[in-house]
Amino acid sequence: MSSETNLPAVEPFTVTVVDRNVKHQIENGAGEEGHPDHELQGVMFATNVKYIFEDDEEPLPEQEDPAIENVVIIEADESLRVTQVELISDQFKQLGFEVHDGNEVSIDALSRFETPRQLGSLPLEKLVQLYKLQNDQLHSLFNTL
């Protein structure tokens, strides 16, 4: 099959994973003037990206790297529209994902719930708010089962 000329060039994907765990709200040392993206400590960047072109008969890179703990699989059609995103990990569960212009994939994830000691020193209003938020997150998790 000859390559068609009207297909867009492959623009590299960028993948960010945001851990919505409430612990990041507690650790947050806020105050300094910064970017809204940086107020939560839970943003992570998956910058080791490999591409698999299904029409190519390249052998799949199946060496098992023991250092790899999380795998993200992004399925795209031939015009590079993202059709599916899947996060495989013991530490994080995927709640959802968004795709922005320019092949930017942002995954909402959740790490294990914790009960950090600092929690006790928070005002009751904040604790109630965190409790409600965790309930919503539990709900989202159940919906992914």
Side-chain-side CA neighbours of residue 41 (13 Å): 11
62 binds other proteins, rule: CB under 8 A: no
Nearer to other proteins among residue 14 and residue 134 (C-beta): 14
Distance CA 9, CA 76 (A): 13
Which two structure tokens, joined as six digits, stand for 27? 């650790």
By CB under 8 A, tell whether 98 contacts other proteins.
no
User: Judged by CB, which is closer to other proteins: 62, or 123?
Assistant: 62
Kind of pairing, strands 14-19 and 43-46?
antiparallel
Q: What would the two tokens of residue 77 be?
A: 């059609």
Q: How many residues bind other proteins (CB under 8 A)?
A: 53
Dihedral in degrees, nearest 10, Cα atoms 120, 124, 127, 133? 180
| Structure-token pair, residue 56 | 């190519």
d(CA 18, CA 96): 10
Q: Which two tokens stand for residue 101?
A: 């212009």
* Interaction of residue 112 with other proteins, rule CB under 8 A: no
Which one among 3, 6, 115, 121 touches other proteins, defined by CB under 8 A? 3
Question: Is residue 46 at the binding interface for other proteins, with CB under 8 A as the rule?
Answer: yes
For residues 14 to 43, the per-residue mask of contacts with other proteins, x marking binding by CB under 8 A and - elsewhere, is xx-x-x--------------xxxxx--x-x
Stretch that binds other proteins, among 62-70, 112-120, 122-130, 136-144 (CB under 8 A): 62-70
Which parts of this chain interact with other proteins (CB under 8 A)? 1, 3, 7, 9-15, 17, 19, 34-38, 41, 43-56, 58, 65, 67-78, 80, 89, 91-92, 100, 102, 104
